[in-house]
Amino acid sequence: MTRHDTVSLPTGTVPARFRPPTGSSDAASVSLDGAWRFRLFPTPETGADPADRGDGWDTIEVPGHWQLAGAPDAWPYGTPAYSNVLYPFPVEPPFVPDANPTGEYRRTFELPEGWTTGGRAYLRFEGVDSWFEVSLNGTPIATSHGSRLPTEIDITDVAVPGENLLAVRVTQWSALSYVEDQDQWWLSGIFRSVTLEHRPEAGVAHARVLAGFDPLTGTGSLTVDVEGPTGARVTVPELGIDVAAGETATANVEPWSAERPRLYDVIVTAPGETITLRAGFRTVSIEDGVFLVNGAPVKLRGVNRHEFDPLRGRAVTTERMLEDVLLMKRHNVNAVRTSHYPPHPHFLDLCDEHGLYVVDENDLETHGFIDGGWTGNPVDDPAWEEVLVDRVTRTVRRDAHHPSIILWSLGNEAGSGRNVSAMAAAVRALDPTRPVHYEGDWSSDDVDVYSRMYATSEETELIGQGIEAPLARAEADARRRQMPFVQCEYAHAMGNGPGGLGDYDAIFDRYPRLMGGFIWEWIDHGLTRRDADGTEFAAYGGDFGEAFHDGTFIADGLVLPDRTPAPSLIEVAAVFAPVRIDEVGGGDALLVRNRYAFRDTSHLTFEWTLHHGDDVLSSGTLDDLRLAPGEETLVRPPTDLPLPTADHTPTWWTLRAVQHTADALDEPWFDDAAGPFVVSTGQVAVTLAVTQPVATGRAHQAVDGTVTVGHARFDARGTLIELHGRPVAELRVDAWRAPTDNDRREGSWTDLSDESVWKESGLHLLAERKISAEITDDGAFVVTARTAGPRTRNGFRAVYTWRPVADGSDDVDLHVSILPEGRWGQSIARLGVLLVLDEPAADDVEVRWHGLGPEESYSDSRVAAVGGSYVHTVRELQTRYTHPQENGARRGVTHAALRFPDGSDLVLDANPSRVGGRSVTGVELSLRPWSDAALDAAAHPHDLVPDGRLWMHLDAAQHGLGSAACGPGVLPNARLRATTAEVSVRFASRQG
Ligand code: GAL
């Protein structure tokens, strides 16, 4: 037996075969999942006898991680720890620390009668993290590793009739930890299923499925190689195929694609065993540098998915897997990269069935070697070759029968070197039908597609045109230029973001060479923790007291840990929509584009409504609109529409592409019960909100110097102290926000983070100094002020002009003009006014608003925002990001009626704002029951407590989001720089 700290192949295991999954065979099997005896020891030298049954030990659930055995309340066996790149132990491969928590597992099983006489008995482990030794009836029989890979052990000769004692020793750290340095929680144990399997005599030892499709003839071809007995047959009843194993059969078939995931039952019958596989006919190819599925160019609109459950870690349930797949399908995701290891095999079954293109990634990452210039990287060390080749071949052999897999990936962030070539060669030898992917070597010597992560949109555009910077080696450069390009990671969805997704998507569409990409990442890996007082929260790095960790960087998903879609997933659905409806032509037409590769739009109805706020004025369907794959057309609103009198609410003509029913065979993901599925929405404003007529009333000054403007009351210095009977805590210009995770990092193209630039100008500590306050001859109350932070000469001069709408009216108009003074950096966070009102129950304030919604949106994340009328409480307007930060902005707001818990109302109507001379619709409205400073200071959502005030931002503009947490910052088209701005709002009251 080998030790955990050696670089050597598994011992005592069965060499990997093309072995279809456990459930596909009619041979008997017994699940060994459930309660096992367990003890945790501080080192691998546990002293525990493999013959010890573990009576009196604890019990633990298999599959599971020992660190999460008591989650969310207790951590009896050590805690999870999060590190991204660097190893949490000294780098001295293959050695790992002596302090190496080691779990001893025990359970007994009954060997079913006849298993070892008529055939053989196998133990199959689907995943054990990280190194393990298996003993049966007191005798060590195998050691293995490859945490996310299966291990099979033939126990026929050691198993006894009746009861058998199975002992498994699992170390947390091993030599193999050096090649499993993925950006995730370190979690150990038997975390996937364990099965006892019968392999009958004359059964199927190996079945390799090749199912291709020729788009020119519509012919599918099927070859199933079988190892084992002679005389095995392959049948596909639906196609009338019945051939000997190894023979190629052809038939007219419906091909498999993510759009139409057509599967056929392929039955492999050997004398001793029958295996039923679900096969799909499809061919992946690269022609003229373009990536094709079944002969058609396909764009991958994908996500990176780690396996994760907030209570169970990587021991995900089949329900969670299905939830992920359905959420992806319902948000127009068509591809998934299994970052950064082969997923649970059932996940791939679901991708086959529901239709997702998969990049299946090998269990390999050595990123920590980057600290030291990749010296000693296993990927370039001959001593590691057979271990790494073993891993990738086990991946291919386990998964090759899945039609959903369109690329093999050799691993992630493992540098470059000789073993990349060895792995690529091994993959090609096993499966020549799929291109090979690996991002870690930009020269792309060993791969078939050029892959990068977080390339900026500018660079992506150059690559799209084939004019990217050349490689030093001419032949490598020439070869790479012939390859399609994929962003295996882009658009980092950490916290509030990513911004700029729509920009990337447009570039992918523009150039045939670009095959799309995979957003980083699908799930926020916040682990549920319940504190003594019962408060549950999503924990990130450091929350378990880790001394060495990477903090919030683990919280970067499109779905929150409990699978609540973050606003970014709503944006993804709109950007990735296979049928896009976009405003063009100066805003009077919609371009409808069918971006399916294989489907026309006949399964969709195009439904339009003409609506003014909530009021639907008329509606209809565009019955003649039917687009072939790749086709597009311009659509205009009918000209004879009954338009209402223009007021503060725009009138929208909104067109939706809606799927009402599943296309029975192909769309098991479609849920009739969930109602119609809106694939895409686009709209044009047929009438804009009108600008309020100019106010004509006059302000009044009392003898004590206080000023009254309608319902607004000021002290003698011009400080607003009351609005509509409600005490005002503050009114001033604001230019800061609680930095997002993206704001906090410098990104790939700036030297400074936005946050640091804002701090430099003191934006986080702005305060106002009044300069003057006077009633002008024409009756307006004009207050001038300067708002600035400490130590800087930078600041904003503001002129507030107040006026009652008419004499005797309570309603008030406020016009604010803002002029930046000083020398400003690359960006500011926002430009507008902050109004803080006393309100003890601010989160219960309800706001009915007209604008772009219903979710938050930002200038570079707004494709999903639809003009309309929405109602939210202030509580509902907050997005509970795992790590609190700026959130909740609603853009293009022309009208907002706030109803306070006491029944009073405050109604705001916004005229167009101006930013740097440009007019924009309404204001960007944010409402919070706490300050931005509190939001910034909070480590977790439950730290945020309403402070008795309603914090309201009325902004002319806000800075975009970008993707600087990992990748480029905010693009110039969404960057807010210090500039002149104007905000103009009418405050009216209504009693409820
Ligand atoms: C990439 C890496 C991912 C993840 C991401 C940042 O470099 O491949 O695993 O760490 O950065 O969240």
Share of the chain above pLDDT 90, in %: 92
Instruction: Look at residue 992 in the predicted model and tell me its pLDDT.
Output: 37
Question: Could you read off the pLDDT of 889-941 as tens digits, one per residue?
Answer: 999 999 999 999 999 999 999 999 999 989 999 999 999 999 999 999 999 99
CA distance 629 to 595: 6
Q: Which residues line ligand 1 (CB under 6 A)?
A: 84, 183, 340, 412-413, 453, 489, 492, 520, 553, 556, 966
950: left (phi over 0), alpha (psi -120 to 50) or beta: beta
477-483's contacts with Cβ under 8 Å and 24+ in sequence apart are 479/444, 479/445, 480/443, 480/444, 480/450, 481/289, 482/289, 483/286, 483/289, 483/444, 483/447, 483/448, 483/449, 483/450
Phi, psi of 586 (to 5 degrees): 70, 20
- Whether residue 547 is predicted with pLDDT greater than 70 in this model: the reply is yes
Share of the chain above pLDDT 70, in %: 99
Name every residue whose Cβ is closer than 8 Å to that of residue 605 and which is 6 or more positions away in sequence.
621, 657, 658, 660
- Whether residue 862 is predicted with pLDDT greater than 50 in this model: the reply is yes
Q: Are 713 and 720 in contact (CB under 8 A)?
A: yes
Q: With 0-12 CB in 10 A as exposed, 13-18 as middle and 19+ as buried, what is 240?
A: exposed
Cα(742) to ligand 1 centroid in Å equals 14
Question: Could you read off the pLDDT of 320-349 as tens digits, one per residue?
Answer: 999 999 999 999 999 999 999 999 999 999
Residue from 494, 978, 493 nearest 736 by CA: 978
Instruction: Look at residue 664 in the predicted model and tell me its pLDDT.
Output: 65
Q: What sign has the CA pseudo-torsion 425, 430, 432, 438? A: negative
Instruction: Look at residue 642 in the predicted model and tell me its pLDDT.
Output: 82
Cα(364) to ligand 1 centroid in Å equals 13
Give the number of other CB atoms < 10 A from CB of residue 826.
18
Q: What average pLDDT does the chain have?
A: 96
Rounded to 10 deg, the angle between the 385-399 and 345-354 helix axes is 40
Cα(341) to ligand 1 centroid in Å equals 13
Cα(835) to ligand 1 centroid in Å equals 39
Instruction: Look at residue 665 in the predicted model and tell me its pLDDT.
Output: 63
DSSP H or E segment with residue 131: strand 131-136
Q: What sign has the CA pseudo-torsion 921, 927, 931, 932? A: negative
User: For residue 412, which atom of ligand 1 is closest to its CA?
Assistant: 8
Residue from 575, 579, 576, 574 nearest 659 by CA: 579
Instruction: Look at residue 36 in the predicted model and tell me its pLDDT.
Output: 98
> Which of 183, 303, 369, 492, when mutated, tests ligand 1's pocket best, judged by the most ligand atoms within 8 Å of its CB?
183
The structural domains of the chain, ordered by start, are 29-200 (2.60.120.260), 206-284 (2.60.40.10), 298-573 (3.20.20.80), 578-687 (2.60.40.10), 700-843+912-985 (2.70.98.10)
Phi, psi of 494 (to 5 degrees): -70, 130
User: For residue 521, which atom of ligand 1 is closest to its CA?
Assistant: 12
To the query of whether residue 413 is one of the catalytic residues in this protein, the response is yes
Question: Could you read off the pLDDT of 476-526 as tens digits, one per residue?
Answer: 999 999 999 999 999 999 999 999 999 999 999 999 999 999 999 999 999
Q: In whole angstroms, what separates CA 79 from the centre of its chain?
A: 25
CA distance 811 to 761: 36
- Whether residue 397 is predicted with pLDDT greater than 80 in this model: the reply is yes
- Whether residue 765 is predicted with pLDDT greater than 90 in this model: the reply is yes
Pairing of strands 846-853, 830-838: unpaired
**Res. 991 pLDDT band, cuts 50 70 90:** very low
CA distance 159 to 363: 31
> Which of 337, 364, 413, when mutated, tests ligand 1's pocket best, judged by the most ligand atoms within 8 Å of its CB?
413
- Whether residue 243 is predicted with pLDDT greater than 90 in this model: the reply is yes
- Whether residue 983 is predicted with pLDDT greater than 90 in this model: the reply is yes
Residue from 885, 329, 315, 342 nearest 565 by CA: 329
Cα(21) to ligand 1 centroid in Å equals 30
Q: What sign has the CA pseudo-torsion 716, 718, 723, 728? A: negative
To the query of whether residue 180 is one of the catalytic residues in this protein, the response is no
Q: Whose CA is nearest to atom 10 of ligand 1?
A: 183
Average pLDDT value for residue range 972-984: 97
**Res. 189 pLDDT band, cuts 50 70 90:** very high
Pairing of strands 866-873, 846-853: antiparallel
**Res. 670 pLDDT band, cuts 50 70 90:** confident
Q: Are 732 and 768 in contact (CB under 8 A)?
A: yes
Question: Could you read off the pLDDT of 47-75 as tens digits, one per residue?
Answer: 999 999 999 999 999 999 999 999 999 99
> Which of 303, 370, 520, when mutated, tests ligand 1's pocket best, judged by the most ligand atoms within 8 Å of its CB?
520
Of 61, 413, 461, 839, which one is the catalytic site residue?
A: 413
**Res. 228 pLDDT band, cuts 50 70 90:** confident
Question: Could you read off the pLDDT of 113-161 as tens digits, one per residue?
Answer: 889 888 999 999 999 999 999 999 999 999 999 999 999 999 999 999 9
832 compared with 2, residue with greater pLDDT: 832
Partners of 226 in beta bridges: 207
Question: Could you read off the pLDDT of 80-106 as tens digits, one per residue?
Answer: 999 999 999 999 999 999 999 999 999
What single string gives the DSSP state of each residue in 332-361? T--EEE-TTS---HHHHHHHHHHT-EEEEE
The pTM of this model reads 0.97
Of 133, 259, 468, 489, which one is the catalytic site residue?
A: 489
Pairing of strands 436-437, 405-409: parallel
CA distance 146 to 397: 14
Phi, psi of 682 (to 5 degrees): -145, 160
User: For residue 182, which atom of ligand 1 is closest to its CA?
Assistant: 9
Instruction: Look at residue 22 in the predicted model and tell me its pLDDT.
Output: 75
Cα(549) to ligand 1 centroid in Å equals 15
Instruction: Look at residue 316 in the predicted model and tell me its pLDDT.
Output: 98
